[in-house]
């Protein structure tokens, strides 16, 4: 059976892979991390769209049956464009998180943290407003969170001080729901939860994305319900670094990561 394809700007998309493995244990996965060009959050819309198309074409070489864009910036900028040009089902991480946040909030004050690109796109805000026009959205860019995670810095004084500064406006706004609008951020969930307090619900879209993918595959008769599976991991640069950090995301060793060829 054909595998599920997943791509991200780096290692953050492995939070989605972890949920896919949990909820779809019989499915094979091909993952591509564009580690040579991370982060996407500071790139222009046009550049993110170009990178996303190149990543998608790489996954299609592996005969994937569905592609998950496990990057919030790429989901915000590229998904509406590339969906029009490819027949393969393509799922982003934005819509499932939005639906869960709108369902979870009680006071209709929803917070969003993400990259500069994701926040600037206003994609989350616009989609939330479509589902609930009365909802208020408070967005904060957290540009240092991705490099922190990719350097394995998930706790400690420096990380906590930066997180306190980023999250202060959201605490002041009185939100009761916070969307983790970047697939790297779930690794920082314990710290974010500590700062925001128990009354704020954190929305990690990975679980909702996996549920949506399962529904799509079942509806199209492509769900693999038994048999062995194989997970393959590719990066555009530095596979050794990726292998070392991947265990933080998946909770298991990732071996034999391959560097993708230059014609990606």
Q: Phi then psi for 59, rounded to 5 degrees?
A: -65, -35
Which are the contacts of 52, defined by CB distance < 8 A and separation ≥ 6? Answer: 7, 69, 71, 74, 77, 78, 82
Q: Choosing from 68, 142, 182, 229, which is the catalytic residue?
A: 182
DSSP state of 168: H
Taken in order 238, 240, 245, 249, is the CA torsion positive or negative? positive
d(CA 239, CA 13): 15
Q: Is 182 a catalytic residue?
A: yes
Which one of the listed residues 68, 71, 142, 229 is annotated catalytic? 71
Cβ-proximal residues to 41 (8 Å cutoff; 6+ apart), any chain: 9, 73, 114, 115, 116, 117, 118, 141, 143, 146, 182
The single residue listed with the structure tokens 């998309």 is: 13
| Contact between 94 and 124 (Cβ < 8 Å) | yes
Catalytic residues: 71, 182
């Amino acid at each position: 059976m054909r595998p599920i394809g997943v791509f991200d700007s780096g290692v953050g998309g492995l939070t989605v892979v972890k949920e896919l493995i949990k909820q779809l244990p019989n499915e094979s996965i091909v993952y591509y991390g564009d580690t040579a060009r991370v982060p996407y959050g500071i790139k222009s819309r046009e550049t993110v769209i170009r990178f996303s198309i190149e990543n998608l074409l790489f996954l299609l070489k592996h005969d994937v049956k569905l592609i998950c864009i496990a990057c919030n910036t790429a989901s915000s900028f590229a998904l509406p464009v590339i969906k029009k040009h490819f027949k393969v089902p393509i799922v982003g991480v934005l819509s499932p998180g939005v639906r869960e946040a709108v369902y979870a909030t009680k006071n209709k004050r929803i917070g969003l943290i993400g990259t500069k690109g994701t926040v600037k796109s206003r994609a989350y805000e616009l989609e939330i407003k479509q589902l609930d026009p009365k909802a208020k959205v408070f967005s904060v860019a957290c540009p240092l969170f991705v490099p922190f995670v990719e350097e394995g810095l998930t706790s400690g004084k420096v990380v906590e001080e930066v997180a306190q500064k980023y999250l202060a406006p959201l605490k002041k706004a009185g939100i009761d729901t916070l969307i983790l609008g970047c697939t790297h951020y779930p690794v920082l969930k314990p710290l974010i939860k500590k700062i925001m307090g128990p009354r704020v619900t954190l929305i990690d879209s990975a679980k909702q994305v996996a549920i949506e993918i399962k529904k799509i595959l079942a509806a199209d008769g492509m769900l693999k319900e038994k048999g062995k599976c194989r997970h393959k991991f590719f990066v555009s640069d530095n596979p050794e670094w990726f292998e070392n950090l991947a265990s933080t995301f998946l909770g298991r060793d990732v071996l034999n990561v391959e560097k993708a060829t230059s014609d990606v």
